Structure 1
Amino acid sequence: MLLMALCACLWSISGIFIKWISWSPFLIAGGRSLISAAVLGLFMTVSRIGIQVCRSSICAGISLGVSFLCFVSANKLTTAANAIVLQYTSPIFILIISALFLHQQIKKREAAVVCTAAAGILLFFLDQLSPGNIAGNFLGILAGLFLSIMFILIGLAGNNDSIRMSGILFAHIFTALVGIPVGAVFTASISTREICLILILGIFQLGIPYILYAIAAKDCSPLACSLIGMLEPLLNPVWVFLFDGESPGPFALAGAAIVIAAVACWCVIENRNQRISKFPTDTEESS
């Protein structure tokens, strides 16, 4: 749990560093992922985790890579709080996609969670109604959508560490291959200071946290990982406010509270359902 908390804290520094770098968001995402891919590849080599090249890992990697590009772009166009909280709508998209494409029935309490989160999302669009902020909010939602697709693809592949870690590695490689050449065209200058900031993002904000997550997930329950991981959307705007002075509007703050509460409820509901199915009651066992 401590490793997961440290992981979430390191994830949360993305907003302030992205704000400090003047590059194109695609170049930021690509440069960050290039360094993170090297860190993750080294970890997989030392841990003897094989690279699985299959449809699940490749498609999951592309989905996560698109999420990376959308998230960094959202940070440039809207507030860090909006970008990170809207990305955390991924569990809501998991429920919707599972119902539409995997033909899984949504229960009434799950539908209530979806509707509550949707109401929270709408509040984000009542603040700072400039074209840039609206576009940033949509990109934040897209980041959550593609993140949910990645989770579903990895879930369909089963509890396979190799496929999961390979998917994350492929995501960084895809982001670097797309982000660096495209972003370089729209970047006027590159300073030594900004290169150092990219190194921090690649090593300490993405590379090491994913290693910590991989270790923590072995002994920390999915519910605990999900709930502790919510330190990221809580801390991310705090760092940006303290070091950059950016603050979300009142409607966005209210929307953030609703979305985070809805996602937390979904995590608890999902965990309870899994425990019930895994440890049935005496009545269910006798029947």
Structure 2
Amino acid sequence: MTHRRAVLLMLVVTLLWSMAGVVSRHLEAARSFEVTFWRSAFNALALLAALAWMRGPAALWGQLRQAPRAVWVSGLCWATMFTAFMLALTLTSVANVLVTMALGPLLTALFARLFLQHRLPARTWAAIGLASAGIAWMFGHEMQGGTGAWAGMGIAFAVPLAAASNWTLLQHSHRVGGQGGGGGDMLVAVLLGALISAALTLPLAWPLQAGAHDLTLLAGLGLFQLALPCLLVVRLTRVLAAPEIALLGLLEVLFGVLWTWLGAGEAPSSATLAGGAMVLAALVGNELLGLRAPEKKQRQV
């Protein structure tokens, strides 16, 4: 796969990820935990079918039975991300959820510094400060409008928190695997996360209310918004550098806000736009400077 094709496919991934908000606004009867259950359940079914076709049912079952502890912990992180995201969408605007989730790259950098002893450059600390100010601005204004908005943003914060934990765990697992300790299977972890999310939310979603219209939309989310992009992004990590993936992944925020604005009439508030601009400026600036840093170092050598 060429670099240009990988970049184009990563754009497709962000487009698919950004569909959840606008689709959820067109549901008729499914609400809260039921939305999460059906999306995770359809995601699990799609991944089961895809992985069984790629590896064979017997091999997949063996990987599930022999999955190491790191894969199960990663699965719990995925389950948290799947569950918290859809719950947050039922409590606050899509823009608030997506901008809060955009903190993922910076939280990952912090966790890598704390748990993997990765040194952070000054640009990252500056970006953390600016992004934190943007989130504080959003929280401050949303709290004036009622408890639902900031409660939804608080739940949404679990998504980048779980994502940062997951990425840190995967980096540690790769390090251990490279030393002969055995790594985990990323796709199996995603499958486990979908199964855990569906199992945990089913009792809370009962009795189920979704009709044919809602099930069609939720099946589309499970297949096209979760399963397919997860398969793609794992493949793309072999071609694209981590800063490139993080930078391109930020487009989910812009696409998601745009789709709900155009497709559901959900215009972002001025506070969300201002706070989101601060967060995106911090993240994009941090990633762009990170991409240029190796070039400067090479010129100096």
Partner of 1:39: 46
Change (3 A) 1:271 1:156: farther
Partner of 2:195: 173
Three-state SS of the structure 2 residue aligned to 1:247 is: coil
Partner of 1:13: 19
Matched to 1:210, the amino acid is C
- The residue correspondences of 1:104-119 to structure 2 (distance < 5 A) are 104-119=118-133
Give 1:85 shift. 1.6
Partner of 1:223: 243
Matched to 1:195, the amino acid is L
Give 1:226 shift. 2.0
Matched, 1:53 2:67: yes
Matched to 1:175, the amino acid is S
Task: Find the aligned partners of 1:219 and 1:244 in 2 and give their Cα distance.
Answer: 36
Residue 135 of structure 1, aligned match among 131, 151, 154: 151
Task: Find the aligned partners of 2:50 and 2:284 in 1 and give their Cα distance.
Answer: 31
Task: Find the aligned partners of 2:121 and 2:236 in 1 and give their Cα distance.
Answer: 30
Please give the per-residue CA displacement for 1:58-97, whole angstroms capped at 9, x wherever unaligned: 1111012112211111111111011012112112222333
Preserved CA contact (<8 Å) 1:71 1:84: no
Please give the per-residue CA displacement for 1:230-268, whole angstroms capped at 9, x wherever unaligned: 221101111111121111211111111111222223334
What stretches of structure 1 of length at least 5 have no aligned partner? none
Task: Find the aligned partners of 1:95 and 1:7 in 2 and give their Cα distance.
Answer: 22
Give 1:280 shift. 6.8
Task: Find the aligned partners of 2:11 and 2:273 in 1 and give their Cα distance.
Answer: 23
- The residue correspondences of 1:241-260 to structure 2 (distance < 5 A) are 241-260=261-280
Matched to 1:85, the amino acid is V
Change (3 A) 1:148 1:202: same
- So what's the TM-score if we normalise by structure 2? 0.83
Give 1:6 shift. 1.0
Cα RMSD after superposing both structures = 2.5
Task: Find the aligned partners of 1:272 and 1:218 in 2 and give their Cα distance.
Answer: 21
- So what's the TM-score if we normalise by structure 1? 0.87
Three-state SS of the structure 2 residue aligned to 1:218 is: coil
Task: Find the aligned partners of 1:104 and 1:73 in 2 and give their Cα distance.
Answer: 33
Residue 174 of structure 2, aligned match among 145, 153, 158: 158
Matched, 1:183 2:205: yes
Partner of 2:36: 29
Partner of 1:96: 110
Change (3 A) 1:25 1:5: same
Residue 120 of structure 1, aligned match among 129, 134, 148: 134
Preserved CA contact (<8 Å) 1:13 1:236: yes
Please give the per-residue CA displacement for 1:171-194, whole angstroms capped at 9, x wherever unaligned: 111111112222225x5x221111
Please give the per-residue CA displacement for 1:13-54, whole angstroms capped at 9, x wherever unaligned: 100112222423222122111111222233333333863611
Change (3 A) 1:101 1:209: closer
Change (3 A) 1:143 1:163: same
Matched to 1:93, the amino acid is L
Change (3 A) 1:175 1:271: farther
Matched to 2:45, the amino acid is A
Change (3 A) 1:202 1:255: same
Change (3 A) 1:226 1:103: closer
Preserved CA contact (<8 Å) 2:39 2:221: yes
Task: Find the aligned partners of 2:146 and 2:229 in 1 and give their Cα distance.
Answer: 34
Question: Is the deviation greater in 9-18 or in 157-166?
Answer: 157-166
Matched to 1:183, the amino acid is A
Give 1:101 shift. 4.0
Matched, 1:83 2:97: yes
Change (3 A) 1:214 1:125: same
Give 1:200 shift. 0.8
Matched to 1:37, the amino acid is A
